Chain A
Amino acid sequence: MTTVEKQLLASPRNLRYLLTVAILVLGLFAWSLTAVNFADVNKGGLQISFNIIKGIVNPDLDLLLNVSKQSVLYLLVQTLAIAFMGTIVGAVLSVPLAFLAASNIVPKPAAWLTRLLLIVIRTIPALVYGLMFIRVSGPGPFAGVLTIGITSVGMLAKLYVDAIEELDTRVLESMTSIGCTTFEKIRYGIFPQLLSVFLSVTIYRFDMNMREASILGLVGAGGVGAPLIFAMNSYKWNQVGSLLIGLVVLILLIELLSNKLRGKLIKG
């Protein structure tokens, strides 16, 4: 059989496979359509969306620019602080967990158990943590920090593990030949390899945490979220507008900064 014929025969089977997948996907699509009930749609929806746009275009400038404790600026700084502290807490917690989950450091069963724990930590939605931590520290930004911390652990630890498992151990051999002790090998052989990856991953997570932190206010864990929902519920769309504008600008700035820093870390 020539290769051409082989290919010709291989092709229909592939087609059948694709067809099955396509039908499956279409089926899933139809099935999930049943979840949506168009009767729910508010009759005034159009009017409201028009109001929202109007609010965003005409933001409450006073709220946006003054510097009191209720101002957008203060809330944004608080959100930023929650994201930052949360990232630090998360990074601190993640490092030991990552080493415990790295299959080249600990025995396989232990690594597997830690990974399972990480999956569970990652799957529990942030708001659940938020509601739980409010019982711990009372409502306020501190609960937000703890929430961000623990939600960061899931992803940070996972990416740290990848870095640990990709460690280049050949450099340790050369350090042995130089006459280095185990401690010196860790400090000068392993630490520099991990540092830049860990930093880059952590900065990336900080960027994501900005978004997370901005919704925590919904459960009373500080930041810009609470005033946002409050303004929405009382239909003060120009306040919503100023809060959203501030939030979007801040998040974009942080993203820009994060990309720049990570680029530097990777390229050196």
Chain B
Amino acid sequence: MIQFIDVQKTYPNGTIALQNVNLNIEQGEFVAVIGLSGAGKSTLIRCINRMHDITGGRLIVDDVEVTRLRGKQIRRFRRRIGMIFQSFNLVTRTTVIKNVLVSFVPDLPLWRKLTGLFTKEQKIKALEALDKVGILDKAYVRVDQLSGGQQQRVALARTLAQNPDIILADEPIASLDPVTSRMVMNDFKRINQEMNISVIMNIHHVEVALEYADRIIGIRKGEVVFDGESRRVTKEILEDIYGGNIEALASSPEEKLAHVR
């Protein structure tokens, strides 16, 4: 369970990214975080695995006080939380399986770390993870020869190999075309349901969010303005979250993103 209690986040330059955030996310939920660019969606997600530090309040993940973790504890804590990025963040010059195997690296003894020789067990686990996202046949292909959708699946497999309880996804489909987006979202949904892994996802595509997520969290200017089941989301609520910009956003989410970045 992830608990946000009065969480505040202020950047060093004075920008307030999050304020008064109070949330409870149960194990196994599929949560989509929506809102305008710069509303604090990405910050919210990155606080959970301490990629960002919060500046006020408490953040508790499965009874662990996240802010109290130090150095090695943070790294051990992160092992349980997978993360997926918009730009896939893979080493494109090596094979798919080597990218997946990276998730075992922190557990290796020093000589294996240096030589890059993984155990057979780990290789099998990595292959299984690839099988779960349906790209087992690409295991020994170099990543730069895969399409965007396939690369995001490699990233997903890398996360699965970690055997996480929670998967955080930061705009996972923003660089993909609509068809591949759906395929990747289906993978997320299946992983969420079959393996009872919580998925917390930042997403620009409202219609996709409403279709796949169980629960929607709407953020505006760093505050949670909506929190509830997806089917309860109405046009009025969306207009509230997006500050009246919903028409423009729904029609061209990609362009919107391109302008903001």
Query: Is chain B a partner of chain A in the same complex?
Result: yes
Query: Is the beta-carbon distance between B51 and A178 smaller than 8 angstroms?
Result: no
Proximity string of chain A (150-184) to chain B, C-beta cutoff 8 Å, 1 when within and 0 when not: 00000000000000000010110111111111011
- The interface size of chain A toward B, counting residues with CB under 8 Å, comes to 23
Query: Is the beta-carbon distance between B89 and A192 smaller than 8 angstroms?
Result: no
Chain B residues, Cβ within 8 Å of A170: 85, 87, 89
Query: Is the beta-carbon distance between B51 and A171 smaller than 8 angstroms?
Result: no
| 8 Å CB contact of A177 from B49, B92, B93, B105 | B49
Instruction: Give the nearest-CB partner of A178 in chain B.
Output: B103
Instruction: Give the nearest-CB partner of B76 in chain A.
Output: A179
Chain A residues, Cβ within 8 Å of B141: 268
Query: Is the beta-carbon distance between B75 and A173 smaller than 8 angstroms?
Result: no
Q: With the chains together, A183 CA to B90 CA distance in Å?
A: 17
The residue among B74, B85, B168 with the most chain A CB atoms within 10 A of its own CB is B85
Query: Is the beta-carbon distance between B113 and A184 smaller than 8 angstroms?
Result: yes
Q: With the chains together, A175 CA to B141 CA distance in Å?
A: 21
Chain A CB within 8 A of B131 CB: no
Chain B CB within 8 A of A193 CB: yes
Q: With the chains together, A174 CA to B103 CA distance in Å?
A: 10
Q: With the chains together, A30 CA to B77 CA distance in Å?
A: 74
How near does chain B come to A70, taking the closest CB pair, in angstroms?
45
Chain B residues, Cβ within 8 Å of A177: 49, 51, 78, 81-83, 168
Query: Is the beta-carbon distance between A187 and B51 smaller than 8 angstroms?
Result: no
Q: With the chains together, A188 CA to B85 CA distance in Å?
A: 18
- The interface size of chain B toward A, counting residues with CB under 8 Å, comes to 36
Q: With the chains together, A179 CA to B72 CA distance in Å?
A: 9
| 8 Å CB contact of A171 from B49, B89, B103 | B89
Chain B CB within 8 A of A196 CB: yes
Also in contact, A268 and B145, with CB within 8 A (given A181-B75, A184-B105): yes
Chain B CB within 8 A of A90 CB: no
Query: Is the beta-carbon distance between A173 and B89 smaller than 8 angstroms?
Result: yes
Instruction: Give the nearest-CB partner of B107 in chain A.
Output: A179
> Chain B: interface secondary structure?
mixed
Proximity string of chain B (59-99) to chain A, C-beta cutoff 8 Å, 1 when within and 0 when not: 00000000000000011111101110101011111110010
Proximity string of chain B (193-235) to chain A, C-beta cutoff 8 Å, 1 when within and 0 when not: 0000000000000000000000000000000000000000000
Query: Is the beta-carbon distance between B102 and A268 smaller than 8 angstroms?
Result: no
Q: With the chains together, A177 CA to B80 CA distance in Å?
A: 10
Also in contact, A174 and B145, with CB within 8 A (given A184-B105, A187-B113, A192-B98): no
Also in contact, A178 and B162, with CB within 8 A (given A187-B114, A192-B98): yes
Chain A CB within 8 A of B144 CB: yes
Chain B residues, Cβ within 8 Å of A195: 93
Chain A CB within 8 A of B106 CB: yes
Chain A CB within 8 A of B142 CB: yes
Chain A CB within 8 A of B44 CB: no
Instruction: Give the nearest-CB partner of B159 in chain A.
Output: A178
Query: Is the beta-carbon distance between B155 and A174 smaller than 8 angstroms?
Result: yes
Query: Is the beta-carbon distance between B144 and A268 smaller than 8 angstroms?
Result: yes
Tell me the chain A residues, 178-216 only, with Cβ under 8 Å from chain B. Answer: 178-181, 183-184, 187-189, 192-193, 195-197
Q: With the chains together, A180 CA to B91 CA distance in Å?
A: 15
Chain A residues, Cβ within 8 Å of B113: 183-184, 187
Chain A residues, Cβ within 8 Å of B83: 174, 177-178
Q: With the chains together, A187 CA to B145 CA distance in Å?
A: 23
Q: With the chains together, A197 CA to B94 CA distance in Å?
A: 12
Q: With the chains together, A171 CA to B93 CA distance in Å?
A: 12
How near does chain A come to B98, taking the closest CB pair, in angstroms?
7
Could you tell me which B residues sit within 8 Å of A by CB distance? 49, 51, 74-79, 81-83, 85, 87, 89-95, 98, 102-103, 105-106, 113-114, 116, 141-142, 144-145, 155, 158, 162, 168
Given A171-B89, A176-B78, A193-B93, 17 more A-B residue pairs with CB atoms under 8 Å apart are A170-B85, A170-B87, A171-B90, A171-B91, A174-B83, A174-B89, A177-B51, A178-B102, A179-B74, A179-B75, A179-B76, A179-B106, A180-B105, A183-B113, A189-B91, A195-B93, A197-B93
Could you tell me which A residues sit within 8 Å of B by CB distance? 168, 170-171, 173-181, 183-184, 187-189, 192-193, 195-197, 268
17 examples of A-B residue contacts, CB within 8 angstroms: A170-B89, A173-B51, A173-B89, A174-B83, A174-B89, A174-B158, A177-B78, A178-B83, A178-B103, A180-B106, A181-B75, A183-B113, A187-B105, A188-B91, A188-B102, A192-B93, A268-B142
